[in-house]
Amino acid sequence: MSNDVIYLDCNATTPCDPRVVEAMLPSMTESFANPTTRNHRPGRDAATALERARATIDRLLGGRAASEVVFTAGATEANNLALIGAAEALADRGRHIISQVTEHASVLEPLAALKQRGWEITLVGVDGKGRVKLEDLEAALRDDTALVSLMLANNETGTIQPVTRASELAHARGALVHCDAAQAIGKLPVDVAALDVDLLSFSAHKFYGPKGVGALWIRHRRPPIRIASVIFGGGQESGLRSGTPNVPGAVGMARAMELAADEGEGERARVAAMRDRLEGSILGAVEESSRNGDVDNRLPNTTNLSFTEVEINALLVSLPDLAVNTGSACTSAHPEPSQVLRAMGVPAELAGSSLRLSLGRFTTEAEVDRAAARITEEVIRLRDMPTRMGRGSHRY
């Protein structure tokens, strides 16, 4: 990372890999034409670039047909299309949808909107590690359950959900399965066949691609999975996402996915080793610090730590040299204890003093050691302060 800030917020977003930028440039300067215009060569060239990107992404996800990939502006849009689109198209089967409590807002909010419109939503709880309670999910399934939506990995804790098992349960009752894989792609091998999901959402900027592009993968099968459109217009993307396609974005996302596949296990092991070193160093040096999440089932780049007797905003203010987060970046404007940690049974005080550290491809060992030293130093200093921010002060 340039300048003097150590960036440990890769679950919020990642920098574009220079190799991705390089791959995108021709589709901005040369193949810049509108890919829906097929009556001239530049248009056809742009369409070729778009379709190549679509085919690459489908292949790398383990899909069977390029047409399974619908480009969107990101995972938020893909989640909305999956949930609202499938709910509307499947209303004749039933108006019941199951998800779980630690989903991202881009799943929970469309579900809340559907509830307003008459759908019945069941949110299943999680255990102390953040894993969905499968027995509760199984018990919640009904004949009129149209859809089950389960994230692959949690943005705050990195906890990986048992998606394959949930798919098995849901399919046995005839429900479709949607998976928000926004935090998993690029950090874990993601294979739609192994997960056995019907719909999968993701965003390129979470894996060293550009912002403003993502996709909804829709399983190709007969009869086709029915999804209703939520954006109306020129009918692009098989009518599911009207609007001029973002060709550079799609090309960049495909390249980013190729790089993630190439870097593969080597990158995951290297990042996990640095994450473990960072975590071990802080937990070893700071008394009354604890780790949140599932050590055996979590993203290789993520750690989530809580410190008793520390006011988290004071800690962040005292660490201007680190880019770290208190939870999901999308909710960091709301200074409330993390709902994800609360759902896991973490006491409010600890949930309100949690730090999410998420490493990435460009993180160095020197940065990790510096970050561990700085966090340790500031937690101890804040605890030693006599009033306001220190022991015995008012917190949340």
d(CA 135, CA 100): 13
Task: Check residue 104 for interaction with ligand PMP (CB under 6 A).
Answer: yes
**Residues 348, 342: contact at Cβ < 8 Å?**
yes
Per rule CB under 6 A, is residue 327 in the interface with ligand PMP? no
DSSP 59-124: HHHT-S-GGGEEEESSHHHHHHIIIIIHHHHTTTT-SEEEEETT--HHHHHHHHHHHHTT-EEEEE
If one asks whether residue 260 binds ligand PMP (CB under 6 A), the answer comes out as: no
Residue 65 vs 112, nearer CB to ligand PMP: 112
Question: Does 106 interact with ligand PMP (rule: CB under 6 A)?
Answer: yes
248 binds ligand PMP (CB under 6 A): no
Helix (H) or strand (E) holding 305: strand 302-307
Task: State residue 100 phi and psi, 5-degree precision.
Answer: -140, 165
Report the residue from 56, 76, 149, 338 that binds ligand PMP according to the rule CB under 6 A.
76
Pick from 64, 299, 52: nearest CA to 198:
64
Site size toward ligand PMP (CB under 6 A) is 15
Does residue 203 interact with ligand PMP by CB under 6 A? yes
Instruction: Tell which one of 6, 24, 151, 355 touches ligand PMP (CB under 6 A).
Output: 151
Query: How far, in Å, CA of 203 to CA of 76, rounded?
Result: 8
Q: What are phi and psi of 2, to 5 degrees?
A: -70, 180
The β-bridge relationship of strands 176-180 and 145-149 is parallel
183 binds ligand PMP per the rule CB under 6 A = yes
Q: Closest approach of Cβ 383 to ligand PMP, in Å? A: 31
223: preceding bond cis by omega (within 30 degrees): yes
Q: Does 85 bind ligand PMP (CB under 6 A)?
A: no
Alpha carbon distances (Å) from 8 to 51, 154, 171, 182, 390: 34, 16, 38, 18, 25
Min separation Cβ 260 and ligand PMP, Å? 16
Q: What are the φ and ψ backbone dihedral angles of 230, each rounded to 5 degrees? A: -115, -10
- Distance in Å, CB of 182 to ligand PMP, minimum: 4
Question: Of the two residues 95 and 356, which places its CB atom closer to ligand PMP in the complex?
Answer: 356
Q: Would you count residue 100 as binding ligand PMP (CB under 6 A)?
A: no
Half-sphere exposure of 282 toward its Cβ, with a 13 Å CA cutoff? Answer: 28
Active-site residue 10, yes or no? Answer: no
Q: Does 182 bind ligand PMP (CB under 6 A)?
A: yes
Separation in Å, CA 142 to CA 123, 146, 316, 392: 14, 9, 45, 49
Residues 212 to 231: which contact ligand PMP by CB under 6 A?
Answer: 214
Q: For the CA atoms of the chain, what is the radius of gyration?
A: 22
C-beta closer to ligand PMP: residue 47 or 357: 357
Give yes or no for residue 325 binding ligand PMP (CB under 6 A): no
Examine residue 157 and tell whether it contacts ligand PMP (CB under 6 A).
no
Q: Which of 10, 16, 179, 330 is catalytic?
A: 330
- In the complex with ligand PMP, the residue whose CB is nearer, 31 or 76, is 76
Pick between residue 95 and residue 131 the one whose CB is nearest to ligand PMP: 131
Stretch in the footprint of ligand PMP (CB under 6 A) among 68-76, 108-116, 215-223, 234-242? 68-76
Residues forming the site for ligand PMP (CB under 6 A): 74-76, 104, 106, 151, 155, 180, 182-183, 203, 205, 214, 328, 330
Kindly list the catalytic residues: 330
